[in-house]
Structure 1
Amino acid sequence: MLVAAAVCPAPPLLVPEVAAGAAAELGDARTACSDALAVLAASRPDLLVVVGAADRDHGGTYPQGARGSFRGFGVEADVRLGEGEEGPRMLPAPLAVGAWLLGHARWGAAPVEGFAVAEPTDDTAHCLRAGRELAARDERVALLVMGDGSAKRTLKAPGYLDERAAAFDAAAARALGAADVAALAAMDSALAAELQAAGRAPWQVLAGAAEGAGLDGRLLYEDAPYGVGYFVAAWS
């Protein structure tokens, strides 16, 4: 059963070594992520699952101890998903960022695993089903859900400006802040893809996991640096 969840943005720029001279620009986001992780620890879970998006070749589960790296971003920074034997696959970037957040917070409250949602093939029904299965993994399950809003918020955004992006992100922020499972489940996957909102699938996994859990939510951070929607929320 799902007892808590934290929603965090997934850009590698959250890692100070990657951001380098721009590290301070996401300082408030990192602080909010730390606060959300504290909510997870306080829920005393038996299992924590880090959820994020990946391409179709890297979807699926990642065991505790799986390793990730930010060497592709020009820095010699490696992470591991908790303690354990290294697996044969490298963590996708969103899960690697989640592993970094957990390491930064010195997570030790429960065993931790990873689950990567394969994009763009995973539709809403699949995401909801995957969430229900994750919530049934143990008596007390917590999720760390990594994902961004639209990447088309400004002219200088990675996907350029789309006038629909601000409204999409505003609706996502309301749903995440209110732990509105129905609103997350009803998100338009086609529109999300057009707006390059990589968080859509992980958020819908969260919606499936939270069905019937009766959790309350708080939005801890909302901004669009670099033209990408970033949100931090805590559900408990």
Structure 2
Amino acid sequence: MLAAAAVCPCPPLLVPEVAAGAGPELDAARAACLEALDVLAAAEPDRLIVAGPAEPDGRGPFPPGSAGSFAGFGVGRTVRLGEAPAGAPAPKRPLPASLAVGAWLLEHARWTAAPVEGLGVGEALATDRCLAAGADLAAGQERVALLVMGDGSACRTVKAPGYLDERAVDFDAAAARALGSADLTALSALDESLAYELKASGRAPWQVLAGAAEGAGLRGKLLYEDAPYGVGYFVATWS
């Protein structure tokens, strides 16, 4: 069963070493993410799953102890999703960037509340498959918490990664309302084709969350909403 969830953005710029001089610009987002992690810890889950968008080679499950790096962003910083079980070999498959950011948040928060594993979700995964994947994560009596990484549209300004698209504001507003109110119907209704066109990497992971939360009766709270660099970033908690 899903005990709690937190939604956080996943730009590598959340990691101060990556952001370098621009680090303070995301201080409010970082603080909101850490507040969201406190909500997850307070739920006392048996297991934490970090889910986030991934390229084809980064999709699927990642066991505890999986490591990721920010070397691709010019920083020799390695992070790890918790610890591998005693005697188990260290996982070899590197974390996708979104899960590496999640791992950094957990390390920064000194997470010790529950074992951690990861799930890389294809950005183009169809809604029905996202919902089914989420339902599978929350099946059973074990208390599961989700840390869901993903961004809104990347088309809010002319300097955004996807340039300016007038549809981006409405898409992000709908996503923020759904995440802030734990509205499973609204999250499930996010248009996958439009999300792809707007480069909204969070659509699929958010719909995994919607599938996991079915029947859990969680209430949402939006902690942060902004669009620095023309990208929609949201932090929310479900508990």
The TM-score range, normalised by the shorter chain, is: over 0.9
Q: Identity rate of aligned residues, in percent?
A: 71
Q: Is the contact between residue 56 and residue 119 of structure 1 (CA under 8 Å) also seen in structure 2?
A: no
C-alpha deviation, 1:119, in angstroms: 2.9
Runs of 4+ in 1 over 3 A off after TM superposition: none
Structure 2 residue aligned with 1:76: 76
Residue of 141, 144, 152 corresponding to 2:144 = 141
SS of structure 2 residue aligned to 1:162: coil
- Are positions 1:24 and 2:24 aligned together? yes
Structure 1, unpaired ranges of 5+: none
Q: Is the contact between residue 123 and residue 202 of structure 2 (CA under 8 Å) also seen in structure 1?
A: no
Q: Is the contact between residue 148 and residue 198 of structure 1 (CA under 8 Å) also seen in structure 2?
A: yes
SS of structure 1 residue aligned to 2:121: strand
- Are positions 1:221 and 2:232 aligned together? no
C-alpha deviation, 1:57, in angstroms: 2.3
Cα shift readout 1:69-112 (whole Å, capped 9, x = no counterpart): 00110011110000115212000000000000000000000011
SS of structure 2 residue aligned to 1:45: coil
Structure 2 residue aligned with 1:37: 37
SS of structure 1 residue aligned to 2:146: strand
C-alpha deviation, 1:56, in angstroms: 1.9
C-alpha deviation, 1:138, in angstroms: 4.9
Structure 2, unpaired ranges of 5+: none
C-alpha deviation, 1:212, in angstroms: 0.6
Normalised TM-score (structure 2): 0.97
CA distance in 2, matches of 1:40, 1:136: 18
CA distance in 2, matches of 1:35, 1:123: 31
After the TM superposition, which residues 185-204 of structure 1 pair with which residues of structure 2 at under 5 Å, given as runs? 185-204=188-207
How many residue pairs align between the two structures? 235
CA distance in 2, matches of 1:71, 1:137: 38
Normalised TM-score (structure 1): 0.98
SS of structure 1 residue aligned to 2:217: coil
Q: Is the contact between residue 150 and residue 196 of structure 1 (CA under 8 Å) also seen in structure 2?
A: yes
Q: Is the contact between residue 147 and residue 198 of structure 1 (CA under 8 Å) also seen in structure 2?
A: yes
CA distance in 1, matches of 2:6, 2:18: 23
Structure 2 residue aligned with 1:234: 237
CA distance in 2, matches of 1:231, 1:137: 29
Comparing 182-191 with 78-87, greater Cα deviation is found at 78-87
SS of structure 1 residue aligned to 2:133: helix
Give the letter aligned to residue 100 of structure 2: A
Structure 2 residue aligned with 1:176: 179
